Structure 1
Amino acid sequence: DEALAALAASFVMRDSQVLQKQQPVASTRSSDGDMLELCKQLNKEIAARTQHETEINRLNERLDLERKMAEARITELREELRRCKKR
């Protein structure tokens, strides 16, 4: 969980740094071309963030499944140990 949180935080920090580096200095004039470029940049950032969030969700689901499988295996082994002790 901590690793996933760190991963998510690193994505957010990286996205912020990329935006800061790529954003042009605000100018007093704004043309259609500038607006189009900003929209394209925003679209790319949203797509990247969505992809990262999807990957984090997939990893969380996998982690939950692995935990459940481990718990089931532990229960199974405890039951087997209990049966062996009764013999």
Structure 2
Amino acid sequence: MQLSVEISLYPLQDNYLEMIKWFIDRLDSYPNIKRLTNGMSTQLGGDYDEVMALLAVEMKAAHSQWGKGVFVCKFIPGGVNLDHTE
């Protein structure tokens, strides 16, 4: 089963861009997961289990590395076309 996730990270610190860039770079290390980022959020797409495992690992790593930060996620089972534009 495919899964699409829209995720936004709101670091609770002054150097917030550093944490966001760090997190996105780590997402790119998963070759089977498609990533699309814009100014407001990042969308991920891939196998349901792989996406959920990625989120568990990387959200924990972000909190361990940087401390407090808020993640806001939307989950769409079955996935969506991340290449869609209007």
Q: What interval of TM-score do these two structures reach, taking the shorter chain for normalisation? A: 0.3 to 0.5
Please identify which structure carries the higher strand content: 2
TM-score under structure 2 length normalisation: 0.34
TM-score under structure 1 length normalisation: 0.34
